[in-house]
């Protein structure tokens, strides 16, 4: 009789353990998916910025005919960012694009007709917001990474994370040295 009870208890323990394993695995999968989604969200916002820029350049061209150089810088920076390979290079190219846009908006301050143009104002708000969204997307990616890594490394999930094939992810940061330096991308002409 007691053997039967012992068997039942053992079965119960195994079942509970199995349930916990399933929950732990699913939890890790959920967090990892959230992470991957966050990464692609960054791309979505960066792409939105690409799509807004030609419109902006056209609008400014009509009013600020003497600012050809600034406009070209923006266009070329955009192309460079679109073609960049690798995380580091891409992040640098994107940062450079941000700085060219900033100088374009600074230049636009000198043209009151342009500043009053509804289209320009709308684009300015859109671009400012897109910059914010890029920052927030990166922020969320880092938050999600922190959450995932923490879950991975705390007991008791850390015991099974390795065998399940989950590994810690890197945060999104441009290397500090290269961030501080003004990006030196050379243009032809």
Partner 1 sequence: MWELIRANRRRSLVLITSMVGVLVVFGYILGEAVAPGGGVIGVFGALVIWAVQMLVYFAAGESILLRSANATELDRDDSPRLFNIVEEMKIASGLEHMPKIYLIDEPTPNAFAVGRKPERAAVAVTTGLMHRLNRDELQGVVGHEIGHIKNRDVQFLTLAAVLLGSIVILANVFWQMMRTAGRSSSRSRSRGGGQGQALFLVLGLLFAVLAPVLAQLLYFACSRKREYLADASAAQYTRYPDGLASALHKLAAAQRGLNFDTKVTAPMFIVSPLEAMDGGGSLFSTHPPTAERVRILRSMAGAGLGDYEAAFRSAKGGALFPGAAAQTDPHAEKRPQSEEQQEGFALGQLRAMTHRLDGYVPVQCSCGLTTKVPMGYESNEVHCVRCGSVLAVPAVQARGEVPVLKEAPAAEQGPLQYTRQQPGWESFRCQCGYTLQLSPSFRGSHLTCRRCNRQIDIVPLAA
Q: What does the binding site for partner 1 look like in residue numbers (CB under 8 A)?
A: 34, 37-38, 41, 45, 122, 125-126, 129, 132-133, 136-137, 139-140, 143-144, 146-147, 150-151
Q: Give the shortest CB-132-to-partner 1 separation in angstroms.
A: 5
Kindly tell me which of 61 and 122 has the beta carbon lying closer to partner 1.
Answer: 122
- Identify which of 78, 109, 106, 105 has the alpha carbon closest to the alpha carbon of residue 94: 78
CB of 130 to partner 1, least distance (A): 9
Whichever of 34 and 75 has its CB closer to partner 1, that residue is 34
CB of 158: closest distance to partner 1 in angstroms?
14
Report the candidate in 148, 163, 64 with the shortest Cα–Cα distance to residue 110: 64
Smallest gap from Cβ 5 to partner 1, in A, equals 30
Question: d(Cα 157, Cα 175) in Å, to the nearest integer?
Answer: 31
Closer Cβ to partner 1, 83 or 132, answer by number: 132
Nearer to partner 1 (CB atom), residue 65 or residue 139 = 139
What does each C-alpha distance from 178 to 94, 102, 135, 164 come to in angstroms? 13, 19, 18, 36
Least distance (Å) from partner 1 to the CB of residue 157? 11
Query: Which string of b and e fits 3-30 if b means at least 16 CB within 10 Å?
Result: eeeeeeeeeeeeeeeeeeeeebeeebee
């Amino acid at each position: 009789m007691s053997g039967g009870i012992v068997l039942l208890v053992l079965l119960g323990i195994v079942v509970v353990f199995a349930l916990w394993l399933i929950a732990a695995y699913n939890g890790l999968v959920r967090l990892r998916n959230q992470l991957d989604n966050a990464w692609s969200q960054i791309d979505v916002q960066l792409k939105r910025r690409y799509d807004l820029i030609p419109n902006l350049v056209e609008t400014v061209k009509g009013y600020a005919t003497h600012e050809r150089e600034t406009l070209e810088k923006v266009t070329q920076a955009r192309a460079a960012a679109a073609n960049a390979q690798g995380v580091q290079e891409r992040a640098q190219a994107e940062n450079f694009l941000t700085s060219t846009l900033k100088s374009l908006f600074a230049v636009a301050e000198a043209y009151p007709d342009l500043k009053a143009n509804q289209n320009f104002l709308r684009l300015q708000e859109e671009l400012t917001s897109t910059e914010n969204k890029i920052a927030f997307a990166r922020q969320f990616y880092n938050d999600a990474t922190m959450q995932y890594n923490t879950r991975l490394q705390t007991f008791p999930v850390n015991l099974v994370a390795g065998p399940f094939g989950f590994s810690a992810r890197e945060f999104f940061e441009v290397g500090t040295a290269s961030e501080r330096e003004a990006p030196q991308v050379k243009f032809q002409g």
